[in-house]
Structure 1
Amino acid sequence: MTTAEDIIESGKSARLRPAGGAALKPAQQPAGPFDVSTQTRKPTVGDALVTGLLVIYPAFAALAAIIAGLFLTGAGSL
């Protein structure tokens, strides 16, 4: 494995790209996990259902946990 000391002792200088230099174009590099890919597609009904479940399910689960906690602590007898 190459360490920083090996690089320094070899005497080779690093080639750094200037800040305003030409970067890779989006078509030349693959999209990362948080980047929008160049191949976009139309949203489907399945996408809408999954998004709805991801939004609504935690709300219902939190509400059910609060109600169950109230009944377990005896607050439900009021």
Structure 2
Amino acid sequence: MFGMIMVGALLLLIALAIAWAVLGVHALLLGRMPGHRLPRLVRQPRVWGAGALLMLVSWNQGSPTLLVIGIGLVALGHVMKPAR
């Protein structure tokens, strides 16, 4: 029973990482966020996407420095005013 729960949690974590990667690549390459709610929340999608991908790379490499930089870029993507 416990093993099945662990496998389910691992599969959920992998699915969330894939969804995060898809969102990051979409934002970085296209410069916009998909859906109805995300475009209102994220002001700089390219910065947000770079941060999201950097967070995934840090998880793969085991680097807390890259994780902190990625979190900072995601936060900046939310609060930076768009360039005019």
Do these two structures clear the TM 0.5 threshold for a shared fold by scoring above it?
no
TM-score normalised per structure 2: 0.30
Query: Highest Rg: 1 or 2?
Result: 1
Q: Which structure carries more helix by proportion?
A: 2
